[in-house]
Structure 1
Amino acid sequence: MAFDTAFLDELRNRTPLASLIGRRHKMVRSGRNWKICCPFHGEKTPSFYVYDDHFHCFGCGAHGDAITFVMQSEGRSFPEAVEQLAAEAGLEVPKQDFQQQQRAQEAKSLSDILDLVQASYRRRLYQPEGRHGLEYLRKRGLSNATIERFGLGWSGDGRSLVEELRPHGVTAELLVKAGVMRSDEQGRPNGELFFNRVMFPIKDRRGRLISFGGRTLGDGQPKYLNGPETALFSKRRTLYNIDYAREAAHRGEELIVVEGYMDVIALDQAGFRGGVAPLGTALGDEQLMLLWRMAAAPIICLDGDAAGARAALRSCEVALPLLTPERRLRFCRLDAKDDPDSLIQRGGPGAMQQALDGATPLVEELFNLLVGGVNAPGPDERAALRERLVSLSQLIPDRTLASEYRTSLLDMFFAQFRRRGGKGASTGGDKTPHKGTQHVASGGDERLRLLTAMLLKYPEILPEVEQAYGGLELPQGLDVLRACLFDWISHDDGHLTQERCFKWLEQHGLKEAATETLAASGLLVRRKRAGTGDEDALREEIIEKWWHFYGFLNFKGFEKAVARDIEAAIRSAYAENSGGDGTFPPKLLARMRILDALRRGEVPEAHE
């Protein structure tokens, strides 16, 4: 009984071999792979090795994939093993009929046809008609050995392929199905797809030829052209050079994703055998899963220009919903003037290795892509950026990993946008405040500690002062506490109580630091049991007290923010259909009173 080749490949991709065998046998690590005592013959020392897509016993010679393992270990027939694995993978087994068998036979026939086409292309490269193609490849620095290794060729003028292959029983219709000829609207053959192009064979992970890509040497467009989707070839389900890269990954070499054929080939010639490239499309989820089957932490190496940045951001967004603690990505961003090919030609393999050694984790790349070009954002921009970072971290299905990403992204966010120097808080000086200016009086660190202590004791006020608090430059210990507090309120469902706050801090190893901060702050305000009205009044009093300390520490920033809010309130009051009563909001009035007090030189004290 024949099954569709594409279906079987999909079934194998969705069946991690290590998980399948690990359910039945206890495995131990052996580098990137696993080993067990062979289940098919008695042995005391493990010689049965499990790789990403096949197993091999060096004792008895047993060898195969997931389907083979089920057949040999459970005594099932091929169709029975396929049906069992398909059910476990959530795939529907295609109905077997005469047409299905015909398609399977056709796929084999198309593979044979592509082998004949490649042989033709390779011959042409070394004939007079392929002279310009061969000169181009050698000008790009490729050796004869590399040209042969990758099976590079020349398409010719696109007029003689049918006649050349006719003695082998190959018709124009078959060449259309193989993806090397075009067809018109009625489906009739209408000329060769590739002409006057350097040809790059595209293979599947087992090394079987499935399509071609071609590069024009003139001004024609597109510069690079890939074959169409066929019974053998699906762009989103494979990667260029996946056969050689898979072997390299098994040897422990780095798996490197680059943008094009020539980058892959240049890497290989320089000794980096694990290079792959997408085939004219952005890196997709199925291709990422292929990468993770070969390596736990592949490197995505993109050009340093704007297009490279866009591709990197899209790769991050595609990867996030697929991440697990075992699946990671690293990013290697080159200078804008470089790609891997040009970097190797200019600086040699050492320059490329240095760039790869500097690869950064996905979380850092994601942050830099989103906020790296943002300069002095306003409060609304910062709020939008923070919300974007948090929402992206929530795409990760593993809750523990998502929490770690959220924490890391927010830590970088607050470090990046913390105000410094004249733009933010200072912790030095001993001058008394006076109208129009403000310096932090002696004891600035103590007041910064008090601001933090007030939020630890009354965390329900955090949302109202979060933006201002996030802009202060804090000592290291307080900075860590602040990052944890902000992470907490992004997790919490709105019940911001001191008890829940300290439980969160305890989970993150910061309860003792928070307790010490409260004890050292000199905070004497006590929470009193009272009715709802008294609680609301106390809350407003605490917020005003917080703003008083904040304004004292950061007078210029506070004064500017109040002035901006006054102007906005006036515009709103005079706007058509505003519906307002012409008065300032109570919270703004409170901050205006605090500003007047600071201008009069009133210094807030902790014991009040």
Structure 2
Amino acid sequence: MSLSPAFLDELRARTSLSTLIGRTVKVQKAGREYKACCPFHNEKTPSFTINDEKGFYHCFGCGAHGDAIRWMTDQRGLPFMEAVKELAQAAGMDVPAPDPRAARRAEQTRGLHDVMAAAQGFFEEQLGGIDGAEARAYLQRRGISDATRRAFGFGYSPDSRGKLKTALKDFGESVLIEAGLLIDPDGAEPDSGKTSKRDSYDRFRGRLMLPIRDIRGRVIAFGGRILGQGEPKYLNSPDTPLFDKGRTLYNIDRASPASRRSGRIVVVEGYMDAIALAQAGFAEAVAPLGTALTEHQIERLWKMADVPILCFDGDSAGQKAAIRAAARALPLLRPGMSLAFATLPGGQDPDDLIRAEGSAAMETVLGSSEPLVERLWKHEHGAAPLDTPEQRAALKQRLSALTDAIAHPDVRAHYVQAFRERYDALFFARRPAFASGPRHSPRTGGGNWQRDRRGNWKPPLPPAGTEVRAIGESGMEQRLLRAVLASLLRHPEQIALHREMLSGLQIADSALAQLLDAMIAASFRKETVETQGLLTILGQGEVYNMAKGMLRADTFTFTPHRMTADPGRAARDLDEAIRVMAQGPELEMNLAAATRRAMEDVSEANLSAQQQALTAHRNHLARLAELAQSEDII
């Protein structure tokens, strides 16, 4: 009888592993996990851990590892189906009725596991024989110790078209083909009834062989490295009923328990990299199998560590692989789950670095890994020149494409903010009036903020003699400013996100300026300030009445069809409007300075550029003011 993976996953999810094990073993709480003395070997100090959240147990002493079903079969000695039935009864689940076809597939799978184990034994035997001399010499040159060779199961496939086929003939030719060990030149499907016109032959010939194992340590495929000249340099088994290269990670059976000891998982480019790291003491290393990192592999990595470290070569190919993995991860990101990136020195792989500088140098590389957001920003920032407005706009567009790919709304919002801060710091310098000293939260009493007579915090004033044109002197600016303030009244959580830029605005209308000051000051409070709280702070009077009028207007957004627009779009438009308002006075000051220089025959080209920038800004302002539909904002 065969059971579907979905049924078994549900059964594991419904079973409290700590409760199950606690029926026969004394367990005690240890943080988020439980611990006990291992029931599989004698020990006095507990090294046996139980993780209910992830549904597994593991002993750091003897290596025992498994889930609820494995516990019932290994510790209780029950057959698989009896274990499942007992757990299902306790969980209130019905075991599915037998499916003859599924039973045949299960039997077939067991046969494939047997043939792969036999092939592994054959390859190991060949490595120790006369034909394996060249392979043994290669391992010696690479510095692979005998202990590492045995631990990873190195073998050798003779340079022959039929030695493996002959050695494993008792399994049957069709099974060997299905397992990916033989190549059928005519492509006949197993059990199809067709007769091949040409003989099948060994897939791996004259190669150093490495078994690829599943999480339970069973051989499911092989990787072979050619010795001497030839292509491909590395050859993996094809996809089979046991092996899906997009769902498998090399060395996962050894790296998974090691990751729980070290608290991290490291992803390298190839299996020889993972082996070199393991030999140097970094047992928590895995590698994809000839493909870019897939969604399934990323999800599997997150089961071992919240922030896996991708350590790829520093050359162009390695960095492209890192960015492909970063882009693949974006739709999957969720709170706490991300990626980090460690870059090796140019031209070096892990083995090169460890041989040249030792394990400490490798630890330094891993310890200096940078977060996903930083790696994405650096890549996009360096992807193209940023000399013209069009090139800078292209950077902004590329960053927006990245954030749009993130499915989780909270994670996406934080990436938008992080990219915005980096973009603004790069292209929009703070105006001198507000760059005269460090900014501190007014709660600390530091920086340029000061208390008024009532004890309320007020933003800093420009230094004496500084000429700054106030916002709101033109009709378009007035309309856009009122729309922005109305939006902030309705969504006070947005104030803190834009506080730095809002505090730099000079507003011509005293009532609007007072309203903005009150909102900024309120955003520094520990507790979240809501709309009603803002109105209470304002008290009675002209500003209070103006704010109430804004709230009585129709629902505000910067986007057309505002009743159906998504909140993310509205937030992006609000961000854009605030930045456009903040840029206006600075652009006009730059134009004035360029005009003075042009009158002195210094740079007419610079004057033209400043004029074009200000014209573009005013057109942008007009578009936003129109979108704001300020007839609804009282």
CA distance change for structure 1 residues 132 and 462 in 2, over 3 Å: closer, same or farther? farther
Distance in 2 between residues matched to 1:586 and 1:212, nearest whole Å: 61
**2:398 equivalent among 385, 388, 404:** 388
Alignment-derived partner of residue 500 in structure 2: 481
CA distance change for structure 1 residues 252 and 53 in 2, over 3 Å: closer, same or farther? farther
CA distance change for structure 1 residues 556 and 345 in 2, over 3 Å: closer, same or farther? farther
Alignment-derived partner of residue 150 in structure 1: 152
Alignment-derived partner of residue 127 in structure 1: 129
Q: Aligned to 1:563, what secondary structure does the other structure show?
A: helix
1:285: Cα distance to partner? 1.1
Alignment-derived partner of residue 33 in structure 2: 34
Distance in 2 between residues matched to 1:121 and 1:459, nearest whole Å: 78
Alignment-derived partner of residue 353 in structure 2: 343
Alignment-derived partner of residue 632 in structure 2: none
CA distance change for structure 1 residues 63 and 122 in 2, over 3 Å: closer, same or farther? closer
Whether the 8 Å CA contact 2:18–2:51 is kept in 1: the answer is no
CA distance change for structure 1 residues 286 and 85 in 2, over 3 Å: closer, same or farther? farther
Distance in 1 between residues matched to 2:474 and 2:522, nearest whole Å: 18
Distance in 1 between residues matched to 2:269 and 2:503, nearest whole Å: 39
**1:239 equivalent among 244, 249, 256:** 249
**Aligned-CA RMSD value:** 5.4
Whether the 8 Å CA contact 2:11–2:91 is kept in 1: the answer is yes
Whether the 8 Å CA contact 1:425–1:554 is kept in 2: the answer is no
Letter in 1 for 2:112: L
Alignment-derived partner of residue 41 in structure 1: none
Distance in 2 between residues matched to 1:372 and 1:563, nearest whole Å: 28
CA distance change for structure 1 residues 585 and 156 in 2, over 3 Å: closer, same or farther? closer
Alignment-derived partner of residue 371 in structure 1: 381
Letter in 2 for 1:320: L
Distance in 2 between residues matched to 1:447 and 1:70, nearest whole Å: 79
CA distance change for structure 1 residues 98 and 375 in 2, over 3 Å: closer, same or farther? same
* Count of matched residue positions in the alignment of Structure 1 and Structure 2: 497
Give CA deviations for 1:244-296 in whole Å, capped at 9, x if unaligned: 00110122343100000110000000000000000111111111111111112
1:171: Cα distance to partner? 2.3
Alignment-derived partner of residue 358 in structure 1: 368
**2:293 equivalent among 273, 283, 286:** 283
Alignment-derived partner of residue 608 in structure 2: 563
Q: Aligned to 1:213, what secondary structure does the other structure show?
A: strand
CA distance change for structure 1 residues 585 and 452 in 2, over 3 Å: closer, same or farther? closer
1:204: Cα distance to partner? 0.4
Matched, 1:161 2:181: no
CA distance change for structure 1 residues 253 and 400 in 2, over 3 Å: closer, same or farther? closer
CA distance change for structure 1 residues 357 and 153 in 2, over 3 Å: closer, same or farther? same
Alignment-derived partner of residue 600 in structure 2: none
1:482: Cα distance to partner? 2.5
1:553: Cα distance to partner? 4.5
Alignment-derived partner of residue 113 in structure 1: 115
Distance in 2 between residues matched to 1:548 and 1:56, nearest whole Å: 63
Matched, 1:221 2:231: yes
Alignment-derived partner of residue 443 in structure 2: none
Alignment-derived partner of residue 179 in structure 2: 178
Distance in 2 between residues matched to 1:151 and 1:46, nearest whole Å: 27
Letter in 1 for 2:130: P
1:388: Cα distance to partner? 2.9
Larger relative contact order (Cα-Cα within 8 Å, sequence gap ≥ 6): 1
CA distance change for structure 1 residues 70 and 115 in 2, over 3 Å: closer, same or farther? closer
Whether the 8 Å CA contact 2:118–2:168 is kept in 1: the answer is yes
CA distance change for structure 1 residues 362 and 427 in 2, over 3 Å: closer, same or farther? closer
Alignment-derived partner of residue 460 in structure 1: 480
**1:78 equivalent among 80, 84, 87:** 84
Q: Within 5 Å, give how 1:98-109 maps onto structure 2.
A: 98-109=100-111
Q: Aligned to 2:201, what secondary structure does the other structure show?
A: strand
**2:588 equivalent among 514, 530, 551:** 551
1:463: Cα distance to partner? 12
1:77: Cα distance to partner? 7.4
1:165: Cα distance to partner? 2.3
CA distance change for structure 1 residues 94 and 196 in 2, over 3 Å: closer, same or farther? farther
**1:311 equivalent among 317, 321, 326:** 321
CA distance change for structure 1 residues 48 and 246 in 2, over 3 Å: closer, same or farther? closer
Distance in 2 between residues matched to 1:87 and 1:377, nearest whole Å: 65
Alignment-derived partner of residue 40 in structure 2: none
Q: Which moved more, 1:366-375 or 1:331-340?
A: 366-375
Q: Aligned to 1:199, what secondary structure does the other structure show?
A: strand
Distance in 2 between residues matched to 1:214 and 1:554, nearest whole Å: 66
Letter in 1 for 2:166: E
State TM-score, norm by structure 2. Answer: 0.64
Alignment-derived partner of residue 327 in structure 1: 337
1:185: Cα distance to partner? 2.7
Letter in 2 for 1:396: I
